Amino acid sequence: MTVAAQRSSTNAVVVGTAPFAWRLDAYGPFAYRLDTDTEEIDEAVDGVRRALDVLPGDSGSFLVVVVAVQTSNVDTWPGDVRYAAGQALWSAVGHQRTDSRKISEGRLVFPDKSIDVTVG
């Protein structure tokens, strides 16, 4: 997952012109569009929006471009792209997650529940 972010007067998320162009490098000229591409774009946009929503109030606003959505047919599951997009946004804007993990009811819990993603 690759996103680009720049300061803006309001939060906005757009999709770049070729988020799956990496397939041409990976699979050559016979790479093709998958049935799940639209769902993965929707997840990426949703993940970025949710990650923006939980940034501290003093973080400001950002225009975010979803540049690349790189998936795998064997291990990308529903929710994975949303999770990756949120993480990519936080990394792009320098948001340090200090509450990285805790134990609850004998299970390891990640703060990613703030973007409604189940981990594990």
- 97-114 pLDDT tens trace: 655 455 566 665 555 554
Three-state DSSP class for residue 54: coil
Please say if the pLDDT value at position 69 is more than 90: yes
**In this predicted structure, what is the pLDDT of residue 114?**
47
Which residues on adjacent β-strands are paired with residue 12?
A: 63
21-44 residue pLDDT tens:
999 999 999 999 998 899 999 999
**In this predicted structure, what is the pLDDT of residue 119?**
45
Average of per-residue pLDDT values in the chain: 85
Task: Give the C-alpha separation, 94 to 3, whole Å.
Answer: 13
pTM: 0.79
**In this predicted structure, what is the pLDDT of residue 117?**
47
**In this predicted structure, what is the pLDDT of residue 96?**
77
CB 60 within 8 Å of CB 93: no
